[in-house]
Amino acid sequence: MRILDRNIIKYKFSFLLSLLLLLSGEAFSEQQRVSLRWKPSQGAESYLIELSDDREFLRVHHFYKTKNFRYEFNSQDSKFYVRVVGINVDGGRGVSSPIISLADKFAAAPKVKVERPSTVVASSEELRISLGDPKSNGTSTNSPGSPNSQKQVPVSTYYRVNGGDWQRYDGSISLSQEGWNEVEFYSEDILGNKEIPKKTKYLKDTTAPQVRLIGEKKGQSGLIEIKSGAELTLQVTEEGSGMEEITINLAARDGSGAEVNLTLSGEEAKKPIKISSLGIDGLSILRWEANDKAGNYIQSEIPLLIDAKHPTCVFAPTEGKLREDGIYYLKENGLIAIRCEDPGTGSGLSKLEYKIGNGSIQSYQNPIGFNTGIHTVTVYTSDRVGNQAEFKIKVNAIKPDWQKTGSEFQEK
């Protein structure tokens, strides 16, 4: 009994459904589109979108299978009720979503003229479309008013995909080819009356949008390193049904500092996306979620090292000390050593240089010695992403040589 209870819990997927009105269709024709979207269900490997003639779902008329979280319906499905069922990796069914009447939703959907000469359908491992119930078709063989005017002659429907062989329609059509598919179909009764074939186009899109960070390289840490405030650029590629929406988040991993949240849709989601890192410091995560109009969905994240702090330096006299007047006093043979470090979350020290007075700038290698007198030392440092700092100190190098005469000291 406990094993059964665990299996029941495992297969209980929950759903939250929302409906969107989308517009598409043949060139300059009036069409209605209704889109169904649901939240991903934990444990579900794919989803069955089941359609039925009745609200109680006594019989499933046809279904679509998808691994995505969105499906777009054509007017051919407008008379049905719909529900979504999660399927786990072992084929177990979860708890069905609430049942929705597509008739109600299509009744509220506006009709508009559209230019795209096709119908976009949601992605699926085995995309299936429906022309309706073939058993419901019929043609009267008698003139109106005759005793047999209500009798129907059996009708068969045939179809072919992309100019292939004609096949008998049995309730659904499988589209296995990625991209545009042209479907032709016609009906014929047993007396040989045959209608002119009709054509429609469907776009099978099973490829999620591609999103990548461009123009950045990994640094010494093994992560992509950038200076805080610099812009990141995400490039989005979607060659199928078109971008629906992309959501982007950039934040420090420890939750400190600023955070970026950005949502773009439609044409704006197709352009290179600029993201500012201003106010963010340390190990950070860049996350995005994107989906296209066919419901293909992708999410990903990249760790980044965003460096907002310049290196810091300390100065250590080897023979001498820092006096209260802010001047480093050196004894004979005294030197000034410079130690600079980038913060622990930084990109690392890249450059350390100095100059004495108005002299030339030199790369710091070893502690610095000075002639007798007062000197100004300027130190220049930067890290690997370009944070720079400048420090100045004063040094007084004294070389005492005193000779005692009575109670006075005199310098030679």
What tens digit of pLDDT does each residue of 215-267 get? 898 888 889 999 999 999 999 998 888 888 899 999 998 888 889 999 998 78
User: Is residue 236 located within the same domain as residue 278?
Assistant: yes
Residue 144: predicted pLDDT: 36
| Residue where a domain stops, chosen among 74, 108, 142 | 108
Higher pLDDT, 328 or 7: 328
Residue 389: predicted pLDDT: 95
Confirm if 254 and 282 have CB atoms less than 8 A apart: yes
Confidence of residue 131 (pLDDT cuts 50, 70, 90): low
Confirm if 322 and 328 have CB atoms less than 8 A apart: yes
Residue 190: predicted pLDDT: 85
24 within domain boundaries? no
Residue 133: predicted pLDDT: 52
Where are the alpha helices (H) located in 72-216, listed in sequence order?
A: 102-108
406 within domain boundaries? no
**Residue 359 to residue 361: CA distance in whole angstroms:** 7
10 within domain boundaries? no
pLDDT digits (tens, 9 = 90+) for 263-317: 998 788 888 999 999 999 999 999 999 888 877 888 899 999 999 999 999 999 9
Residue 1: predicted pLDDT: 39
- For residue 255, the 8-state DSSP code is S
Which residue from 379, 323, 333 is spatially nearest to 356, judged by alpha carbons? 379
Range of the domain at 44: 34-108
- Residue 255, judged by CB atoms within 10 A of its CB (0-12, 13-18, 19+), counts as exposed
Number of domains in the chain: 4
Confirm if 293 and 243 have CB atoms less than 8 A apart: yes
Measured at the CA of 49, the angle between CA 48 and CA 50, to 5 degrees, comes to: 100
Write down the residue that tokens 């988040």 correspond to. Answer: 249
